Amino acid sequence: MLEIDLATQKAVVHRVLSTRGVLRALALLNDRAAYRYSGIYKLSGNAMRAVHIFDRHAEYRAWPMVLPLSRSFCQFVMQQGERVISHASTDRRFALLPHASLVESYYGQLLTHECGTPYGAFIHFDVETRTIAAREISFLHEVVPHFLPYLD
Please report which helix (H) or strand (E) contains residue 7, including its range: helix 6-20
Q: Rounded distance, CA 75 to CA 106, Å?
A: 12
Mean pLDDT of the region 96-111: 84
Domain extent at residue 67: 6-150
Side chain identity, residue 3 = E
Residue 10 covered by a domain: yes
User: pTM of the predicted model, to two decimals?
Assistant: 0.90
Mean pLDDT of the region 32-50: 95
> Does 1 score more than 80 pLDDT?
no
Residue 118 covered by a domain: yes
- Within 8 A by CB and 6+ apart from 15, the residues are none
Closest CA to 104 of 118, 117, 84, 86: 86
Q: Rounded distance, CA 143 to CA 140, Å?
A: 5
The predicted structure's pLDDT at residue 98 = 67
Residue 1 covered by a domain: no
State the CATH number of the domain containing residue 126. 3.30.450.40
Q: Rounded distance, CA 26 to CA 21, Å?
A: 9
**Tally of domains within the chain:** 1
Q: Rounded distance, CA 76 to CA 109, Å?
A: 10
Residue 108 covered by a domain: yes
> Does 23 score more than 50 pLDDT?
yes
The predicted structure's pLDDT at residue 89 = 85
Residue 109 covered by a domain: yes
Side chain identity, residue 128 = E
Confidence of residue 64 (pLDDT cuts 50, 70, 90): low
**From the CB of residue 37, how many other CB atoms can be counted at a distance below 10 Å?**
21
Closest CA to 58 of 27, 34, 25, 28: 27
The predicted-structure confidence for 108-118, as pLDDT tens digits, reads as follows 999 999 999 99
Residue 14 covered by a domain: yes
Q: Rounded distance, CA 13 to CA 29, Å?
A: 8
Under the phi-then-psi rule, with left for phi > 0, alpha for psi from -120 to 50, and beta for the rest, what region is 111? Answer: beta
